[in-house]
Amino acid sequence: MSQSKVDDSDLVNDALTSEEELFLPKLGHAIQTKKKHGTLYCLFYLCILLIIALVCLSTYLALSLNESSSPVEELVQYKNLVFTTGFGSERTPYQGPPTPERDALWDDLYLNSQNMIRKRLYIEDGKYDPNHKLTGIEHLEHCYDALRQSLMCSADITPLPWVWSDKAQEAKEVARVTHTCRDFDVLRDWAREHAVHHFDKKTQADDGLDDH
């Protein structure tokens, strides 16, 4: 009888051992799978963080490369100005035929391209030399294309409204609107203070910059 009990106990133990042997591999596989999934999730999040870091870095570098290296960048200020039409009572001191006083005003602006075009408008036909160094056609073409590039670069986005004129019975553009402009006086003052009055363009000087 005792022998039977021992045999039954052994059978139970053997059965339990068999079940454990069947279950433990599954449990081990589940643990390994969970660890594998955890590793994949970590790699996924690391990739996301790396992509974000690369995007931030590329954006920073792009902005840094696009930043102006002008020595007057920190002096730039903005102010609101209302443009004038340039007609009738709104004509400015800069308009009209060349005079010593008017030429001095223009010279003080450092706007050589506009000044050359202005002077060309008032040259008498019989005195116009198409090969003149400053007022010749080649230089004037340079001037107006420089104006084109400058206007496209600044790209003033101030809206110009149109209003109905009962007198003219048509819509007309309103030129007297407020623009947000760089303070030109501040920049001109800086240019005056740093002007080079004796410049020899025939003498080469090492500026330490790479040639491009």
Dihedral sign for Cα atoms in the order 101, 107, 109, 114 = positive
Does 95 lie in the same domain as 46?
no
Do 137 and 55 belong together in one domain?
no
For residue 53, being part of any structural domain is answered with yes
Same domain assignment for residues 182 and 100: yes
pLDDT tens-digit readout, 141-161:
777 778 887 887 887 888 889
Same domain, 176 and 110: yes
| Cα distance between residue 65 and residue 104, in whole Å | 38
- Domain annotation covers residue 44: yes
Could you tell me the residue range of the domain that residue 36 belongs to? 22-63
Q: Per the domain annotation, does 88 fall within a domain?
A: yes
pLDDT in tens, 199-211: 887 888 777 666 5
CA pair distance 54, 60, nearest whole angstrom:
10
- Tell me if 180 is assigned to some domain: yes
**pLDDT attached to residue 156:** 83
Instruction: Determine whether 136 is exposed, middle or buried from the number of CB atoms within 10 Å of its CB (0-12, 13-18, 19+).
Output: middle
Are 176 and 58 contacting, i.e. CB atoms less than 8 angstroms apart?
Answer: no
- Per-residue pLDDT tens digits for 71-86: 677 787 888 888 887 8
Indicate if 114 and 28 belong to the same structural domain. no
Question: Residue 27 domain-assigned?
Answer: yes
Domain annotation covers residue 4: no
Q: How far is CA 18 from CA 6, 13, 14, 21, in A?
A: 18, 8, 6, 5
- As for how many domains the chain has, the answer is 2
User: Does 81 share its domain with 109?
Assistant: yes
pLDDT tens, residue by residue, 183-195: 989 988 998 888 8
Q: Is residue 153 domain-resident?
A: yes
Task: State whether 126 and 182 are in the same domain.
Answer: yes
| Pair (138, 174) in one structural domain | yes
Task: Give the domain-ending residue among 8, 31, 63.
Answer: 63
Task: Tell me, yes or no, whether 13 lies in a domain.
Answer: no
One domain for residues 131 and 164: yes
pLDDT tens, the chain, 212 aa long: 444 444 555 544 555 455 555 555 555 555 566 566 667 667 766 777 777 777 777 666 665 555 555 667 778 788 888 888 788 888 889 988 888 999 999 998 888 888 888 888 887 655 556 566 666 677 777 777 788 878 878 878 888 899 999 999 999 988 888 988 889 899 889 988 888 888 887 888 777 666 55
Q: Which run of H or of E encompasses 100?
A: helix 100-107
